[in-house]
Amino acid sequence: MAPETAKYRRILLKVSGETLAGAKKFGLDPATLRAIALEIKGVVDLHVEVGIVVGGGNIFRGLEASAQGIDRAVADNMGMLATVINALALQDAMEKVGVPTRVMSAITMNEVAEPYIRRRAMRHLEKGRVVVFGAGTGSPYFTTDTAAALRATEIGSQAILKGTKVAGIYDRDPEKDDRAQMIPRLTYFDVLEKSLRVMDSTAITMAMEQQIPIIVFKLLEQGNMKKVVLGETIGTIVEKRGNER
């Protein structure tokens, strides 16, 4: 049997905090963390280099806190700290399934994570270590979606994989409308013009400028992440098409 060949040699996986909570609405679910770790291991075993950006919405969401009266910059800083908690939890889960992992934080906290240094991150990836990027961009007013697009650009990722709870991007909310149809392929402009809830506009624009495809797929379906990396048609791909610049 011929060995499986990955379409992408280096990827950036975006995982929301809500995904890490599993069926719960808050906190961390150990079974879900393990399931995600096993999905990532399946990709690492193909000798694919993996960077990860995690959200923090399962612990603290800066935008919601700001709406309740906390200063926006303070709230965003609190949210960035929540992402580091998630990054450490994901690191622990991955190392328990045998995947060497490093956490790098955009906010300096040497006792628990390495500071984010691009060249050091590249070296970890080249050595086969998974790198989990915590604390977003390190600056308030930017989402972890934007952090994902930024880190993907910096490390030379060939694709951004956005792991979600649904199979891809739909024409309407699939959790509220049974008539919802999944859209297998979109352009960056489609997403921006239709205000589709894929990633925020800053992240989409950055990915478009760097021509990094975004693949939205169901993360917690066994083997899905591996199928995406192998180039199978899974989920929705957002990419350049036609005469787009």
What are 232's two structure tokens? 């199978």
Q: What span, in angstroms and rounded, lies between the C-alpha atoms of 44 and 210?
A: 24
In 3D space, the residue among 151, 128, 104 whose CA is nearest the CA of residue 40 turns out to be 128
Strand partners, 10: 49
pLDDT band at 243 (very low <50, low <70, confident <90, very high): very low
CB 62 within 8 A of CB 75: yes
Q: Give the dihedral sign, CA 186/192/198/202.
A: positive
Global pTM reads 0.93
| 148-172 pLDDT per residue, tens | 999 999 999 999 999 998 899 998 8
Distances in Å between the alpha carbon of 168 and those of 139, 192, 221, 223?
A: 29, 17, 12, 15
In 3D space, the residue among 13, 20, 34, 1 whose CA is nearest the CA of residue 228 turns out to be 13
- Tell me what percent of the chain is helix, strand and coil, each rounded to the nearest 5: 40, 20, 45
Q: What span, in angstroms and rounded, lies between the C-alpha atoms of 144 and 17?
A: 10
In one letter, which amino acid is 79?
A: G
- What lies within 8 Å, CB to CB, of 231 at 6+ separation is 6, 7, 8
Is the pLDDT higher at 173 or at 239? Answer: 239
CB-count burial class (<10 Å; 0-12, 13-18, 19+) for 126: exposed
Q: Would you state the pLDDT for residue 198?
A: 85
CB-count burial class (<10 Å; 0-12, 13-18, 19+) for 136: buried
Task: Evaluate if residue 191 carries a pLDDT over 90.
Answer: yes
Residue 48 CA, chain-centre distance (Å), reads 16
pLDDT band at 245 (very low <50, low <70, confident <90, very high): very low
Residue 158 per-residue DSSP state: S
Domains of the chain: residue spans and CATH:
10-239 (3.40.1160.10)
What are 163's two structure tokens? 């792991």
Q: Would you state the pLDDT for residue 3?
A: 62
* Average pLDDT in the chain: 93
